[in-house]
């Protein structure tokens, strides 16, 4: 199945807020976009709880429900939403060549990369061994397993704060480990954490090891140079994300943190007709609403690109 099966005006890679917003705009512009949802349809919002800060949802909405709304809105205008992950690309040819995880190759005249970012891990061997046996990166997915138990959360950002607060309502006690002497989380989230009686914040504390054979039993930490054990049945890692750029790296320029670089004020990458939107190109804001905003920009940029003649790209190396 390695023969190209179709040529599509616009392929959107990724089914999160950026991808769906691009699909809404592109479908309304008559570009007949096809969106591939990737390995986690709905993106990171499907592992979030309540979204309180997306304008328009005045009473808040759950992440998964919001993503269903986005998808339905894109489909209403004729966007084709497909399951499947782009695992390989060839941006030296035009139309651009994209290979799916099932081996099918498709051709696209324009591409919007909105593949998002994934949770980072600490990199300890025990983390892999005990993943799903107490180690998790999603409190909302797995928190229930730790009802009335003690858990540890690692990280000092909004995600760690949010996960700690969620777990504090379920668990007996939450130990939040912050490696610096301050948290990076927004003030309002920090205040909520500090107010919660069963959250203990440990500053200047890092995980050294995870103790347990079949399940997490305790976390070995270095706290202000001393080694201590915290008894806990769960370890929730909430230390940020890395952009999902792997299939694009041979062609697309990224910055020192691995985020796709775009021409300032646009979503244009270094490859003509290939645009980037959402968390994969945003090391700073990483909000659903900013992702949606850049998704809109990418659709408008792609529309402008598709209106121009681009036959000159056909035989060229396009860097
Ligand atoms: P961030 O990158 O903001 O924070 C990551 C945290 O993890 C930092 O405190 C960092 O420490 C710490 N960290 C990184 N690596 C390690 C390590 N190896 N060991 C220990 N600690 C480590 O990521 P988040 O996922 O928290 O947030 C991402 C974005 O999403 C932010 O813009 C945030 O505001 C937003 N967000 C908003 C929410 C909301 O508004 N409700 C909810 C969740 C996220 P250090 O500070 O020392 O670098």
Does the CB atom of residue 159 touch ligand 1 within 6 A? Answer: yes
Tell me the pTM: 0.80
Tell me: the pLDDT tens digits for 240-262? 889 999 999 999 999 998 999 99
CA neighbor of 116 nearest in space, from 297, 291, 267, 302: 291
Q: Is residue 1 one of the residues assigned to a domain?
A: no
- Per-residue pLDDT tens over the stretch 159-213: 999 999 999 999 999 999 999 999 999 999 999 999 999 999 999 999 999 999 9
Q: Please tell me the distance between residue 43's alpha carbon and the centre of ligand 1 in angstroms.
A: 17
Place of tokens 């959250």: 199
Give φ, ψ of 48 to 5 degrees: -105, 160
- 7 falls in which pLDDT band (50, 70, 90)? confident
157 touches ligand 1 (CB under 6 Å): yes
Residue identifier of the C-alpha nearest atom 25 of ligand 1: 240
Looking at the structure, do residues 246 and 98 belong to the same domain, yes or no?
A: yes
**Overall average pLDDT of the 52-70 stretch:** 94
The question of whether 138 is a catalytic residue gets the answer yes
Active site residue 279: no
User: Encoding tokens for residue 295?
Assistant: 């998704």
Whether the predicted pLDDT of 4 surpasses 50? no
Residues 89 and 150 in one domain: no
pLDDT at 251: 98
Give nearest CA residue, ligand 1 atom 47. 180
Q: What is the C-alpha separation between 130 and 127, in angstroms, rounded? A: 5
Query: Is 143 a member of any domain?
Result: yes
Rounded to a whole number, what is the distance in angstroms from the first to the last CA of the chain? Answer: 28
* CB distance 33 to ligand 1 below 6 Å: no
pLDDT of amino acid 127? 93
Question: Do 271 and 284 share a structural domain?
Answer: yes
Dist CA 159 CA 138 (whole Å): 10
Tell me the average pLDDT across 118-134: 93
131 shares a domain with 103? no
Q: What is the mean pLDDT of the chain?
A: 93
In a domain? residue 134: yes
Does 222 have pLDDT greater than 60?
yes
Q: Whose CA is nearest to atom 3 of ligand 1?
A: 157
185 lies in which domain range? 125-237
Question: Do the domain assignments include residue 83?
Answer: yes
Residue 218 burial (CB count, 10 A): 18
Any atom of ligand 1 within 6 Å of the Cβ of 51: no
Q: What's the domain count of the chain?
A: 2
pLDDT in tens, 29-51: 999 999 999 998 998 888 766 78
Is residue 259 domain-shared with residue 157, that is, in the same domain? no
- Asked if 134 and 216 sit in the same domain, the reply is yes
Residue where a domain terminates, one of 237, 270, 301: 237
Structural domain includes residue 29: yes
Is 104 inside any structural domain? yes
Question: Does one domain contain both 206 and 192?
Answer: yes
Q: What is the pLDDT of residue 241?
A: 87
- Asked if residue 319 belongs to a domain, the reply is no
Among 176, 208, 237, give the residue marking a domain's end: 237
Compute CA 219 distance to the chain's CA centroid, rounded to the nearest angstrom. 27
- Regarding whether 185 and 89 lie in a shared domain, the answer is no
What is the rounded CA–CA span in Å between residue 136 and residue 142?
A: 7
Give the ligand 1 atom nearest the CA of 189: 41
Considering 142, 158, 279, 301, which one is annotated as catalytic?
142
Q: What is the pLDDT of residue 5?
A: 54
Mapping DSSP to helix (H, G, I), strand (E, B) and coil, where does residue 39 land? coil
- Closest residue by CA, ligand 1 atom 9: 156
Determine whether 197 is exposed, middle or buried from the number of CB atoms within 10 Å of its CB (0-12, 13-18, 19+).
exposed
> 233 falls in which pLDDT band (50, 70, 90)?
very high
Task: Assess whether 245 and 114 both reside in one domain.
Answer: yes
What's the helix, strand, coil split of the chain in %, to 5?
30, 30, 40
Ligand 1 pocket mutation pick from 155, 181, 187 by most atoms within 8 angstroms of CB: 155
Give the rounded percent of residues in the chain with a pLDDT score beyond 70.
Answer: 95
Residues 20, 68 contacting (CB under 8 angstroms): no
- Residue from 108, 104, 176 nearest 139 by CA: 176
Domain boundary among 211, 237, 263: 237
Output the CA 316–ligand 1 centroid distance in Å: 42
Active site residue 142: yes
pLDDT at 315: 56
Please tell me whether residues 50 and 145 are part of one structural domain: no
How high is the pLDDT of residue 93? 95
* pLDDT category of residue 76 using cuts at 50, 70 and 90: very high
- HSE at residue 183, side-chain half, CA atoms within 13 A, is 26
pLDDT of residue 6: 58
Is 280 inside any structural domain? yes
Q: How confident is the model at residue 1 (pLDDT cuts 50, 70, 90)?
A: very low
270-297, pLDDT tens digit by residue?
999 999 999 999 988 888 999 999 999 9
Kindly name the residue from 2, 32, 138, 209 that is annotated as catalytic: 138
Residues 155 and 198 in one domain: yes
Q: At what angle do helices 17-28 and 63-76 cross, to 10 degrees?
A: 20
Find the CATH number of the domain harbouring 32.
Answer: 3.50.50.60
160 lines ligand 1 (CB under 6 A): yes
Please tell me the distance between residue 157's alpha carbon and the centre of ligand 1 in angstroms: 3
Question: Is 114 found in the same domain as 62?
Answer: yes
């Amino acid at each position: 199945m390695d023969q190209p099966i179709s040529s599509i005006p616009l392929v959107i890679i990724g089914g999160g807020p950026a991808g769906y917003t691009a699909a809404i705009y592109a479908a309304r512009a008559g570009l007949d976009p096809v969106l591939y949802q990737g390995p986690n349809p709905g993106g990171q919002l499907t592992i979030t709880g309540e979204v309180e800060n997306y304008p328009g949802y005045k009473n808040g909405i759950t992440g998964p429900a919001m993503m269903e709304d986005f998808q339905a809105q894109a489909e209403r205008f004729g966007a084709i939403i497909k399951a499947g992950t782009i695992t390989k690309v060839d941006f030296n040819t035009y139309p651009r060549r994209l290979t799916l995880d099932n081996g099918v190759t498709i051709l696209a005249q324009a591409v919007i990369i909105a593949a998002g970012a994934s949770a980072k891990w600490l990199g300890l061997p025990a983390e892999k061994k005990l993943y799903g046996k107490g180690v998790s990166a999603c409190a909302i997915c797995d928190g229930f397993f730790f009802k009335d138990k003690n858990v540890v959360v690692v990280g000092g950002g909004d995600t760690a704060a949010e996960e700690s607060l969620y777990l504090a309502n379920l668990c007996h006690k939450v130990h939040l480990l912050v490696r610096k002497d301050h948290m990076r989380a927004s003030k309002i989230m920090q205040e909520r954490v500090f107010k919660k009686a069963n959250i203990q914040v440990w500053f200047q504390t890092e995980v050294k090891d995870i103790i347990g054979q079949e399940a997490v039993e305790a976390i070995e930490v270095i706290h202000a140079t001393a080694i201590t054990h915290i008894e806990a049945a769960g370890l929730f890692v909430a230390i940020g994300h890395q952009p999902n750029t792997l299939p694009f790296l041979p062609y697309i320029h990224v910055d020192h943190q691995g985020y796709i670089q775009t021409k300032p004020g646009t979503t244009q990458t270094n490859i003509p007709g290939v645009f980037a939107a959402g968390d994969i190109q945003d090391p700073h804001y990483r909000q659903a609403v900013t992702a949606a905003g850049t998704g809109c920009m990418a659709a408008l940029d792609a529309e402008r690109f598709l209106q121009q003649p681009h036959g000159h790209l056909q035989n060229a190396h396009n860097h």
